[in-house]
A and B are shown apart, each in its own frame.
Chain A
Amino acid sequence: MFKYTIKRVLQSLGTVLIVVSIVSLLLSLMPTDYFFTEEQLIKLTDKQKEDQLAAAGLLDSPIVQLFRFLENLILKFDLGTSRRIQAGVPVIKVIGDKFAISMRLGCIALVISLILGVPMGILQARHKDHLFDHIGAAYTIFVNAVPRLVSYSLVLVIGVKLFGLPSMYSTRHAVRSSILPIICLAMGSTASYALWMRRYMVDELTKDYIKLARIKGLSTRQIMFKHVLRNAFVPMVQNLPTSFMLTIGGSLLVERFFSIPGMGPLLTDSITRYDLNMVRGLVLLYALLGIFGLFLGDVLMTVCDPRIRLTGKGGDTR
C-alpha cells in the first residue's frame, strides 16, 4: 500500500505538470493583444506595445515561456506576479488572501449538507414510498428544478426582506453576512447527497444478503445501519475528498452573487483579463486539488470496502 501511495503521488504530480503545460500552451494560442487593457490599446503605440510584450517575455515561443514558468516553479517555487487582478502582487499572495475565505464558507456548507443530506437520504430509503420519502423527494425536486440563478435570487430576496440579513458578504461582519451564502452553497449539495444516498441505499436493499439478514431476524434498524449503510456509503465516500478539496476553489455563482472575495470568480476574471501568471497558478492549484482528491477518494474507498483493491494483486487472473 505504501509503495502504491508513493507511486500514485508521483504519477499525480506528473499529471499536474501535464495539465499546467497544456493550459499554458492553450493560452499562448490567444492573440497577444489580450495582454493589454482596453485603455492601453487606446493609448499605446505599436512600438510601445511591442516593447512591453518583449519585456514580459511574451514574444518568445510558447515552449520557451512554458519552460521558464516550470523552471521558476520547480527551482524557486515562484509563480510570478499578477498583472491585471492586482498589478505586481505575487500570485501566491493573491490566491492566499482569497482561498481561506472560500474554504471556510465551503467547508461549513459541506459539513452542513453532509449532516443534513446523508440522514435525509437514509430516512428516505428507510421509509421508501412513505411520507418522509416524498418530502425529501419534493425538496430534491425543488432544488434541482429551479435553476441556481433563480433560487439564489430567491434566497437573497427572502433573506434580505424577511430576515434583514445583509445582502453582501463583509469581512467586518463575517458571521451574519455568511448566512445567506452558506444557505445557497448547502442547498444544492444537501439535495444531491440525499438523492444519491437514497439511490444507493435502495439499490442495496433489494440485494440477496439483505433478505438473508431479514430472514435471520435482524431488526430493520440493524440491517439499515450495519449492512446497508456501510455498503451504500462506499460510492459516496469516494467523492468526499474531492468535494472537500473543491471547497477551496469556491463557487463562481455564489461568490459573485454575494461579492465574496473568494476564489470562485478569480479564474474567469484572470482568463478574460489575460493575467497569464494568475491562470497558470490557479490551474496548478485546481489540478493539485482535483487529483489528490481523487486519490484520497480511492484510498478511502478501499478502507471502507476491503473487497475493492487498487493494487490489482491476486484474485484477478487477467
Chain B
Amino acid sequence: METKAVNTTAELEKELGMSEQELFSFVEYHAEDAERIGYSEYSYWKSVFRNFLKNKAAVVMIIVFFAIFIFSFVALWIGKYDYQHLIPDTNLCFQSPNSEYWFGTDNLGRDYWCQVWYATQTSIKLAAIVALGECLMGVTIGCIWGYVRKADRFFTELYNIFDSVPTMIYMTLIALFIGQTFWIMCASIILFHWMYMAKNVRNLVFMYRDREYNLASRCLGTNLFRILTKNILPYLISVIILRVALSIPSTIALETTLSYLGLGLDVNTPSLGILLRNSRTFFLDYPYLLIFPAVIVSLVTITFYLAGNAFSDAADPRNHV
C-alpha cells in the first residue's frame, strides 16, 4: 500500500494549475464524514498506464510505431510489385522515387518500396521476439541470481563462461552447422543475450536485497516468490523496461553487423539491416536508398527510447498517486 507522496505547495500548484487559496480551504465539520475510513482503489498497473498516457510524446510515438508496423502490411498489399516476384533489370537501376516506383529502385532495378516494407516486417518481428525472450529469461534468472546467495556462485560462473566466449564463435558455429533461418537467429540472439539483462537485474536485486524493509519482510516469513515479485521487482521495472526498449534497436543493429559478416539471416529474408548494409555502398550517389530504411530504423528506435523512458518513469511506484 502506497501513500501519497508529500509534495511542496509550489509543486502542487504547478501540477494542478490552481493557486494556494483554491487548493486549501477550511472544511466544515461533519460527524458522519469524520467516521469514514480512508480507502484508495490503488492498482499498480492502472497507475502505470495512467501515468504513461500523460506523456503525450511517447503515446504519439507508440501510435506512429504501430502505424508503421500495420502499414508495412498494407504497403505490401497496395504496392505495385510483389516482393516474391521482383525482376532484376539493370536498365531500370537507381531510379529516384517516382509515381511508378514510390521508393525508387535499387542497384538491380528492383522496386525498393516492397523491399523496404518487407524488411521492416522482418526486422520488427525479429526484434520484438528477441526482446520478449530476453526479458523473460533475463528477469527470471536475474532475480534468482541476485537474491539467492547460493545461486550467485553458479550463475556468476555461467555468466562468465557465456560472456567470455566471444559471441562470434557461437554465431559462426551455429551458422555453419544449424543454418541461417529467422527462428534460429531469434533463438541464438536470445540464448546469448539474456545474460546482460540478467546481470543488470542481479545487480539491482543485490542492492535492494538487504534493505531494511526486506529484512523486516523476511522476518515476517514472507516467501521468496512474494519478496521478489512484490518487494523488489516493482523497483526494477523501470530499468527492465528501459533495457527492453533499447534492446529492440540494438537487435536491429546486431543483425546488421551479423549480415555484414555473412552470419545474419539468409539471403532470401531481407531485413532492414541487410538493406542498410547494401545501401552503404551507394548512399553518396543515391541517398534515398539509405534514407528510407534509416528513417524507419530511427523512428522505431526513437519510439522505443521515448516510450521506454516514459514507461519506466510511469512504472516507478514513487511517482504514483
Contact = CB atoms under 8 A, between A and B. Distances in A.
A touching B, CB within 8 angstroms: yes
Interface of A: 11-12, 15-16, 18-19, 22-23, 26-27, 29-30, 137, 140-141, 144-150, 153, 157, 199, 202-203, 206-207, 211, 234-235, 238, 252-253, 267-268, 271-272, 279, 282-283, 286-287, 290-291, 294, 305, 307-309, 312, 315-318
B164 A16 contact: yes
A147 B297 contact: yes
A120 to B, nearest CB: 16
B319 A206 contact: yes
A137 B61 CA distance: 15
Contacts, number: 134
Interface in B276-310: 276-277, 280, 283-284, 290, 294, 297-298, 301-302, 305-306, 309
Given A203-B238, A235-B203, A22 B161 contact: yes
Contacts of B316: 203, 206
B198 to A, nearest CB: 13
Contacts of B173: 26, 29-30
B207 interface: yes
Nearest to A206: B318
B305 A141 contact: yes
B185 interface: no
B239 A271 contact: no
Contacts of B238: 199, 203
A29 B318 CA distance: 53
Contact of A145 (B206, B239, B249): B249
A318 B204 CA distance: 19
Name the 8 nearest CB pairs between A and B, nearest first: A287-B164, A145-B301, A145-B298, A290-B164, A206-B318, A19-B164, A15-B160, A147-B253
Contacts of B297: 145-147
A22 B318 CA distance: 46
23 contacts: A15-B161, A18-B161, A19-B165, A22-B161, A23-B169, A26-B169, A137-B309, A144-B246, A146-B294, A149-B280, A150-B283, A157-B284, A203-B316, A206-B316, A206-B319, A235-B207, A253-B260, A268-B261, A283-B169, A286-B164, A287-B165, A290-B160, A308-B206
A302 B164 CA distance: 23
A286 B166 contact: yes
B104 interface: no
A283 B276 contact: no
B231 interface: no
Interface in B255-287: 256-257, 260-261, 273, 276-277, 280, 283-284
Nearest to A149: B256
Contacts of A145: 249, 297-298, 301-302, 305
A141 B302 contact: yes
Interface of B: 6, 149, 156-157, 159-161, 163-166, 168-169, 172-173, 176-177, 203-204, 206-207, 210, 218, 238-239, 242, 246, 249-250, 252-253, 256-257, 260-261, 273, 276-277, 280, 283-284, 290, 294, 297-298, 301-302, 305-306, 309, 312-313, 316, 318-319
Contacts of A206: 316, 318-319
A135 to B, nearest CB: 15
A150 B280 contact: yes
Given A29-B173, A253-B257, A149 B160 contact: no
A150 B290 contact: yes
B160 A294 contact: yes
Contact of B172 (A253, A272, A290): A272
B218 A19 contact: no
Nearest to B262: A272
Contacts of B306: 141
Given A146-B294, A199-B239, 8 more contacts: A22-B161, A148-B257, A149-B276, A252-B168, A268-B168, A283-B166, A287-B160, A287-B165
Nearest to B235: A203
A145 B6 CA distance: 38
Contact of B252 (A147, A202, A315): A147
A305 B316 CA distance: 23
A206 B156 CA distance: 31
A215 B177 CA distance: 64
Nearest to B224: A318
Contacts of B218: 317-318
Given A153-B283, A206-B319, A19 B161 contact: yes
B305 A144 contact: yes
Nearest to A192: B246
A291 B305 contact: no
A29 B178 CA distance: 13
Contacts of A294: 156, 159-160, 163
B165 A30 contact: no
Given A206-B318, A268-B172, A317-B218, A147 B273 contact: yes
A155 B166 CA distance: 27
Identify which of B161, B173, B297 gathers the most chain A CB atoms within 10 Å of its CB.
Answer: B161
